[in-house]
Chain A
Amino acid sequence: MSASSPPPRPHSTAEGLEPRLWVERYGDQLYNYAISRLKSHEIAEEAVQDTFVTAVVSLESFKGNATEQTWLFSILKRKIIDVIRRDWKRKGKFTLYDEVNPESFLFSPDGTWRRNWFAPADCPIESRELWQIVQLCLKLLPSNQANVFVLRVLEEKSSAEICKELEISPSNLGIRLHRARLGLARCVAEKMKR
């Protein structure tokens, strides 16, 4: 090596990437993130696996402007949207009226609550425990409600983006979000009563 050559850089840490250590370093975190948004263990595992494979074959696109971890999470977030889009298209033949509508059992025909469904909201529960219950209840919602809820509330996508991705109208999105929130509150309150 001549005196004017740049300092040596080990290949395994080029641009700070160490793919051989990804599962060990980030596997749990990526999986936890995925399972909090997707329906099942299998789907979450597949999203994490696709993330690693995508990252490996796209190493050239990593510019080193973010950490390895941030880069992997950004890929995973796209994978999650892909999974939801695919799931949505598979079930695209179902209309809004095919889905479970929590209004029908929560409310009487005259628009009043059938009864008080909810435990007192000030009951003591740690945030961590409540988050676990929310995740569980999210998995119990109809897919087409859970999917829009994940995109809008957890992934914070704009309504316009979601309508475009899923090819639905803003009012359709609004109805599904409303039903998802109703179903979620009902489910969480039910679990809290037990």
Chain B
Amino acid sequence: MDDLTAAELITRKLTEGLSQQEREALDQHLAKSSTSRVFAQWSARIQDVIEFFRETDASAGEGPGLDPVTRLRLEKRLLEAMEAAGWDNPPANSDLPTGDLSSELTVGRKVAEDQPDYDANRSMGNDSNVKRQKNKSQDDAGETI
């Protein structure tokens, strides 16, 4: 076995695993080749750190976070999306019984429609960007929870 073949086995071992025969051949090669051995050690170390930090909490907790300009831009875009989706029109009577979120939104829209300054385009989420995205978005979010 040459170093190139050994490197292929080292990387494959981390993703798919090796057969018993491949493992033995690799071990024999590593005993002889110090560079292959160091490469195997680095690969394993990188894999270990990825396995720890790829978890959602760990990935989310490490990093620069949003810079102030990006934060403002996201807040603005979020508010626009909320407005377009009718979230700026909460039900006037929050004591109304609510079975689930969809019926609550329907109630909210009904209450809004009764207001003199009701803007159908705005309240029904007819903003073109939001509407365009809605079908796809429900695909993205629908199956997750």
Q: Annotate B67-86 by CB proximity to A: 1 below 8 A, 0 otherwise.
A: 00011011101110110010
Taking the closest CB of chain A, its distance from the CB of B141, in whole angstroms, is 4
**B35 touching A49 by the CB < 8 A rule?**
no
Nearest-CB residue, chain A, relative to B33: A113
**A6 touching B36 by the CB < 8 A rule?**
no
Contact of A11 with B by CB under 8 A: yes
- Residues of A near B11 (CB, < 8 A) are 177-178, 181-182
Nearest-CB residue, chain B, relative to A29: B60
**A153 touching B50 by the CB < 8 A rule?**
yes
A-B residue pair count with CB separations less than 8 angstroms: 233
Nearest-CB residue, chain A, relative to B10: A181
Is the contact region of chain B dominated by helix, strand, or loop, or is it mixed?
A: helix
**A131 touching B64 by the CB < 8 A rule?**
no
Taking the closest CB of chain A, its distance from the CB of B71, in whole angstroms, is 6
Quick one: which of B70, B129, B130 has the most chain A CB within 10 A?
A: B70
Contact of B117 with A by CB under 8 A: no
Contact of A118 with B by CB under 8 A: yes
- Residues of B near A75 (CB, < 8 A) are 140-141, 144
**A113 touching B35 by the CB < 8 A rule?**
yes
Taking the closest CB of chain A, its distance from the CB of B120, in whole angstroms, is 17
Contact of A95 with B by CB under 8 A: no
Q: In whole angstroms, how far apart are the Cα atoms of A136 and B145 in the complex?
A: 33
Q: Annotate B104-115 by CB proximity to A: 1 below 8 A, 0 otherwise.
A: 110010000000
Q: Contact check: which of A45, A61, A128, A174 meets B70 at CB < 8 Å?
A: A45
